[in-house]
Amino acid sequence: MHEWLHTATPPRIRIERLLDELDRRSALYDATFWSLRERPKSLPAVWLYDERGSLLFEQITRLPEYYLTRSEREILAERADEIAARTAAETLVELGSGTSEKTTLLLDALDAAGTLDRFVPFDVSEEVLRASARAVAARYERVGVHAIVGDFERHLAAVPAGGRRLVAFLGSTIGNLQPDRRAQLLASIAATLEHGDAFLLGIDLVKHRARLEAAYNDSAGVTETFVRNGLAVVNRELHADFDQTLLAFSAFWDPEHDWMDIGFRARSAHVVSVPELDSTVPLAAGERLRLEVSTKFTRAGISRELAGAGLQLDAWWTDRRGDFALLLAGRSSTGACGRSRSRG
């Protein structure tokens, strides 16, 4: 379904809906049903981001322990002009765009370079997309906005073709995907890119365990509040009875998988009822209930993952402390055929 918003003559904002509320809810319920049968048991991280959860996450990004957002913004501020010059992008596509706040640095640089014609924010939240689309259209008078309400893991083929495109996936959001889903997404991005297109990826880097664990166990307890809110959302939406008092918050570094493992441990054995899924969930004493992983990367590891998907690393930038990286990649001339996929 398509809709034009008349912000100017001719209208410059197009809203394309590939995902309605019923479809989104059905997919989430199905994912939740199966994730509660995994080892360890888990809940999809999307439950974390209701209205209150989104506000709490904004607080997290401003915490002294949480370096990721500041580090990525530092790189964008220093390198946006170079990225604009290297890509000469006519279309900027942002996957998981949210409010597109940091993306303004890229939009400013591409607009100043005189190449940008179109911005394509891609997100599951229509309300957030509408607000960001209007803000971008108001700030950049020459730029059309084609907002896509969809799941970029399922609907990437909807990215409009034509002209030189820069596909941006920022915030190290890719680290929330486990290796098989990362491989599938990167392969889909490679298949979407045409000659002259580029892929800009933000990734958090492997570093000392103490700094990583401090970022997810902040002294103010905001991260714990954020994760517990996700459990409250599950209780509200699925009429479940997860008992917060029986679940201890747990966020720890897993060196085997190079990720932070974020969720809970059961203080004692108990059974949880989830009526909307017609399910019961037994939890043993000490058993984990995962709500999110946050993978950290090395340059060698992500280079292998890109190559396995048919992408080639073209440029690499880090912040001054070396905590975070932005990389620029393009579709490799040889493609992914015959290459193996490997986790960083």
Distances (CA, A) of 170 to 41, 75, 176, 218: 28, 11, 12, 23
pLDDT tens digits for 263-275?
999 999 999 999 9
pLDDT of residue 185: 97
pLDDT of residue 338: 38
311 vs 174: CA distance, rounded Å: 15
DSSP letter at 211 equals H
Element (H, E) at 148: strand 144-149
pLDDT of residue 337: 42
156 vs 88: CA distance, rounded Å: 22
pLDDT of residue 124: 84
Q: Phi and psi at residue 35, in whole multiples of 5°?
A: -65, -30
What does pTM read for this prediction?
0.91
DSSP letter at 205 equals B
CA 192-197-201 angle, to 5 degrees, is 80
pLDDT of residue 339: 36
CA 127-133-136 angle, to 5 degrees, is 145
Token pair 């570094």 in the structure block, residue: 253
309 vs 332: CA distance, rounded Å: 9
- Is the Cβ–Cβ distance between 92 and 115 less than 8 Å? no
Q: In the numeric block, which tokens belong to residue 41?
A: 């048991």
Report the DSSP beta bridge partners of residue 316: 327
pLDDT of residue 54: 86
Inter-axis angle of helices 103-113 and 68-87, nearest 10: 20
| SS3 state of residue 12 | coil
CATH number at 2-21+66-207+297-331:
3.40.50.150
Q: In the numeric block, which tokens belong to residue 32?
A: 């939740």
- Is the Cβ–Cβ distance between 15 and 145 less than 8 Å? no
CA 320, 323, 329, 334 torsion: positive or negative? Answer: positive
Count of alpha carbons within 13 Å of 288, Cβ hemisphere only?
Answer: 15
205 vs 189: CA distance, rounded Å: 21
Q: Is 278 exposed, middle or buried (0-12, 13-18, 19+ CB in 10 A)?
A: exposed
Residue numbers in the chain where pLDDT is lower than 70: 1-11, 99-100, 334-344
- Is the Cβ–Cβ distance between 93 and 122 less than 8 Å? yes
In the chain, CATH 3.40.50.150 covers 2-21+66-207+297-331
Q: In the numeric block, which tokens belong to residue 232?
A: 């409250």
pLDDT of residue 2: 55
What's the chain's length in residues?
344
